[in-house]
Amino acid sequence: MDAGIIIWLLEQVEAGQNIRDLKMDILQAIRYIISSWNEVTDETIRNCWNHTEILPDNEPLNNDEIDDENDDQMIDELSRTIQALNLPNAMRVNEFLNFSEEDVTYEIFEDDQIIMELVDIFKNSDENTDDLDEIDDSDEIVTISTSVALKSLETVNMFLLQQENADEYIKLVGKIENFIRKKQIHMMQQTTIDQYFS
């Protein structure tokens, strides 16, 4: 538990939060504990027991072997499912998972190259914006990040918790929070080139 609290504090500091500003009341602590408990996996609990060295070590657990067995079972299941579809040009699961064309490499530019590229871009943009009437000085709508949305939603939730007969609204706020968290997870997933064209 202590390690989790320390990790959370470090994440907040790295995210730009000042440790002195991180005040927490009991209700907020309970909400963090509930949220954290929902994210605990079987592997985490197993590792905790292994680290305590309370249990006898009759069989050393080899997580790599367990993972390999799980992977093999999943690959077999996927293979059976693909065969059941009777696709005309079905690709084998291992070929699909280890697609060689996905091993994309890219060039890392040196600082001088980046500076020269930026200088060229700004020179070209200065030449193209000679006519001041054509400059668009309208304000763009600021995109709100999921972390800002969650923080604002937390404020709304605290307001509702202080009100009477607001149980239904608190549930709705919970649904909105789940929606935002799903969006946040979706934004963190790596996309492939095929997703841009569909």
Q: Is residue 38 one of the residues assigned to a domain?
A: yes
Cβ-based neighbour number of residue 169 at 10 Å: 15
- Structural contact between residues 160 and 173, judged by C-beta atoms closer than 8 angstroms: yes
pLDDT tens profile 89-136: 777 777 777 766 656 566 677 888 888 888 888 887 666 555 555 666
For residue 132 the two structure tokens come to 């001041």
Residues 47, 7, single domain; the answer is yes
Give the number of domains in the chain: 3
Report the distance separating Cα 39 and Cα 131, nearest Å: 56
Residues 6+ apart with CB under 8 A from 46: 61
Q: Residue 160 domain-assigned?
A: yes
Of 76, 145, 24, which is closest to residue 5 (Cα–Cα)? 24
Q: Residues in the chain, how many?
A: 198
Q: How far is CA 65 from CA 51, 70, 145, in A?
A: 19, 9, 40
Let me know whether 41 and 23 are in one domain. yes
**Same domain flag for 48 and 70:** no
Does 11 share its domain with 42? yes
Amino acid at 20: R
Measured distance CA(150)–CA(59) in Å, rounded = 44
- CB 61 within 8 Å of CB 51: no
Q: What is the residue range of 159's domain? A: 151-190
For residue 117, count CB atoms less than 10 angstroms from its CB and return exposed for 0-12, middle for 13-18, buried for 19 or more. Answer: exposed
**146 in any annotated domain:** no
Output the six-digit token pair for 20. Answer: 């002195």
CA separation for the pair 198, 193 (Å, rounded) = 9
Together in a domain, 47 and 78: no
How large is the average pLDDT for residues 34-59? 73
Any domain includes 127:
no
* 170 C-beta neighbours (distance < 10 Å), count: 13
Share of the chain above pLDDT 90, in %: 9
* 6 and 47 within one domain: yes
Residue 113 domain-assigned (yes or no): no
How far from the centroid of its chain's Cα atoms is residue 38's Cα?
A: 16
The CA-CA-CA angle for residues 61, 63, 64, to 5°, reads 130
In a domain, 133, yes or no: no
Is the pLDDT confidence value at 20 over 60? no
In a domain, 123, yes or no: no
Tokens of 25: 């009341």
Question: Distance between CA 91 and CA 50 in Å, rounded?
Answer: 41
Give the residue with greater pLDDT, 194 vs 2.
194
At 59, is the secondary structure helix, strand, or coil?
coil
Is residue 9 in a domain? yes
pTM over 0.75: no
Could you report the per-residue pLDDT of 147-192, keeping only the tens digit for each? 899 999 999 999 998 989 888 998 899 999 999 999 888 888 777 7
